[in-house]
A and B are shown apart, each in its own frame.
Chain A
Amino acid sequence: MNKEFIEIRWHGRGGQGAITAAKIVAGAAFVSGYSGVVMAPSFGTERRGAPVMTSLKISKEKIYDLSPIETPDIIVVLDHLLLNEADVVCGLKPGGVIVLNTPKAFESYNFKGYRLATADITAISVEAGLPHGMVNTGIIGSLEKATNLLGMDILIKGIEEEFRTRRPEKNSLAAKIAFEKTVAGG
């Protein structure tokens, strides 16, 4: 993966916190020296429960192109059921990474030509002490495990900063557990 310019597309449901997760990663990328960071939620009428998308571009240079991501390097899916509803891998670069929150086994998926990473973030988050369904911090741990992009330290710092008034330790714990438990393909 070209680490000068990375495009990540996040798939979640309205209310699931995909935007917050992307924002945390954006912030961590910026402090890691990526001066170009652009995070754009899918525009329009966001409704709780409906599928939503967020795109994140990370670059060493200022980003002038704010148009939607067409060929992402990484796809993050916060709910495995979205696989049935949307073409989440659309445009994913060959050899691109799919980070998937799923209770199912890694082996039960077959994404030819892509690198898959899975974890049961829903269960991990509960284990970390978060309310059921809060998966947007755990998934960051999986993303880091799958991509080795920014380093856990800086991501944990970002999570604790974002959630400073809302259970910061439990949120960072979810990311840490997810990092450990994520199964990533080669």
Chain B
Amino acid sequence: MQAKTTILNLPTEEFVHPGTRACTGCGLAIAYRVGLKALGKDTILVVPPSCLTVLQGLFPIASTKLPCLNVTFASTAAAASGILATLKSQGKDNIKVAAWAGDGGTSDIGLQALSGAAERGENFIYLCYDNEGYMNTGVQRSGTTPMGAVTANTPFKGKLQQKKDVPAIMAAHNLSYVAACSAAYPLDLFDKIRKCMDMPGTKYIHIHIPCPPGWGYEARYGIKVGRLAVETGYYDLYEIVNGEFKLTAASEKLVEKRKLIPVREYFRSQSRFRILTDAQIAAIQNQIDAKWANYYKKDE
């Protein structure tokens, strides 16, 4: 088993410059910064339009020190395939390809290309940073916006539908590696990227990304909000290695503790959930409890 990375042995080399256009307290900026450390220098990035496009910089200045191809919204995974094919034809097997796309670019418009690439077994890492909405265009609902969240186009009733479970969709492609991470647990993200890097075919990593303007919390609380999602059992950290599901990191510890923070605390930490009623929260709490009862059962 791979030793867990600590802050002290995390690589010190930075691949992102300061002074980006990311919002103050951007959760993506944390995950991206640490994620690139895991990927390392010999990586080519593929990025569709998203907050990351802005974070990465406007011509002629790039905030990222890695080579990156900006591509159209729906084509991320296909473009990654094209770079891979080139590297293969050039015999450059030391260079990795990593796609970073938002939740809209993954769960909605980019899903077809992603499914195609995953089915073909293209050897790259796909990272979906999930801030649960179209934040770059001003906070509209996406496939992964959770039920009850008020967005610019679900302004009064909040989103009425459940969050799309993208990791499950990807797991259905029989991938060697699927993982769920959070910007609030950057070392877990680092270890998961490192773990899957040399696995065959497409690897999918989903990252929960707290977003101060989109979720409605003060920038300083970003890590706390992300952590609450995990500690309430609302968003789980896990990995699926060759089909085997396993909770990891903080979520794994929650199984041992047998104690979840009430999800109400998570909802009340953000203004986007302001319209959720006590009854609705209770219903969601029931869903979470049922899910965790299942985890506990497996643990016994």
| A/B: CB atoms within 8 Å of each other | no
Interface of A with B (CB < 8 Å)?
A: none
- Which residues on B are within 8 Å of A, measured CB to CB? none
